[in-house]
């Protein structure tokens, strides 16, 4: 993965106006969606417990409308799996949260630090994100949490690369989290689906325009996206799901899913 960051984009006066307008619309959308979700969750939680048959539709609607506000083209290929299980995808941008929620009812697996982030942490908790730590002493408790959520019918999504990239490549998948999918209580019934997320930059911009990686600051990157007069697009490829039981161990499962995700990238990006 390259260390250099894209050249800073100059934002003209009209770009600042557009960014402010889009930011206001997104804030209204997110707060309205959160309010509706929390109200419905009051009814949903006592009636269904861990299961969430209603509120994920609110999350999907908000994420789809986000791309309408950004005026960013969004399309998918393939079909989300109907079987119970987990989902894995490459990770290129903070936009992945909206990209992946817009089409599929999923629950993200995220590092525990995110729960404490102002605003974002609140939203993440509200939509059912699973928070994990990198502490090995917590591995057994985290595996039990995964089992509980998966057995409740939740489709958990995590990023096996372990970090975000510039969107031009897919890093080797780390196999650690796959161990939780191969426990005796899950492996025979569990399926896993690989997704490929491909961003295309606005005309004339750096191909890595939507990529957010390394030490890049969130604020300037979001501002750049909000201020773009002409937007690019994002495409999500859903690959055929596989049975966890068909693989000898977590490393074999991770390697297969990595190959699937990589195959969905444009040819010029597959070998970077």
> Which DSSP symbol is given to 85?
E
CA-based torsion, 244, 248, 250, 253: positive or negative: negative
Mean pLDDT computed over 240-265: 96
Residue 155 CA to residue 159 CA, distance in Å, equals: 13
Q: Are 197 and 164 in contact (CB under 8 A)?
A: no
- Both tokens of residue 211? 């990529």
Q: Got the DSSP string for 145-182?
A: HHHHHHHTT--EEE-TTSS---SS--PPPP-GGGGGGG
- In the chain, pLDDT over 70 holds for what percent of residues? 94
CA-based torsion, 206, 209, 215, 219: positive or negative: positive
173-182 pLDDT tens trace: 999 889 888 8
pLDDT, residue 1, reads: 46
Q: What is the pTM of this model?
A: 0.91
Least confident of 123-127, 251-255, 261-265: 123-127
- Among 205, 164, 169, smallest CA distance to 6 is for 205
How many CB atoms sit inside 10 A of residue 55's CB?
23
Least confident of 135-139, 170-174, 176-180, 238-242: 135-139
pLDDT, residue 139, reads: 66
Residue 210 CA to residue 6 CA, distance in Å, equals: 10
Q: Is the pLDDT of residue 21 over 50?
A: yes
Higher pLDDT residue, 179 or 24?
A: 24
> What are the φ and ψ backbone dihedral angles of 156, each rounded to 5 degrees?
-85, 135
The set of residues, in sequence order, having a beta carbon less than 8 Å from that of 28 and lying 6+ positions away, is none
Residue 193 CA to residue 86 CA, distance in Å, equals: 7
């Amino acid at each position: 993965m390259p260390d250099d960051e894209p050249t800073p984009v100059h934002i003209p006066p009209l770009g600042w106006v557009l960014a402010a307008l889009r930011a206001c619309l997104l804030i209204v959308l997110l707060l309205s969606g959160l309010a509706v979700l929390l109200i419905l969750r009051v009814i949903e939680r006592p009636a269904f417990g861990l299961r969430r048959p209603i509120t994920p539709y609110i999350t999907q609607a908000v994420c789809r409308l986000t791309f309408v506000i950004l005026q960013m083209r969004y399309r998918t290929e393939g079909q989300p799996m109907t079987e119970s299980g987990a989902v894995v995808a490459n990770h290129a941008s903070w936009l992945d949260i909206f990209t992946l929620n817009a089409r599929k009812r999923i629950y993200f697996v995220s590092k525990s630090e995110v729960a404490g982030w102002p605003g974002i942490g609140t939203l993440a908790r509200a939509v059912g994100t699973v928070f994990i730590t990198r502490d090995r002493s917590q591995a057994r408790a985290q595996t039990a949490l995964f089992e509980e959520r998966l057995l409740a019918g939740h489709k958990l999504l995590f990023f096996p690369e372990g970090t975000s990239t510039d969107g031009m490549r897919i890093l080797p998948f780390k196999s650690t989290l796959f161990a939780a999918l191969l426990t005796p209580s899950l492996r025979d019934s569990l399926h896993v689906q690989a997704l490929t997320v491909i961003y295309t930059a606005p005309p004339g911009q750096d191909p890595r325009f939507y990529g957010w990686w390394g030490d890049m600051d969130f604020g300037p990157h979001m501002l750049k996206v909000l201020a773009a007069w002409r937007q690019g697009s994002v495409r999500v490829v859903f690959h055929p799901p596989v049975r966890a039981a068909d693989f000898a161990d977590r490393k074999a499962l991770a390697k297969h899913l990595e190959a699937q995700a990589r195959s969905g990238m444009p040819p010029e990006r597959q070998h970077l």
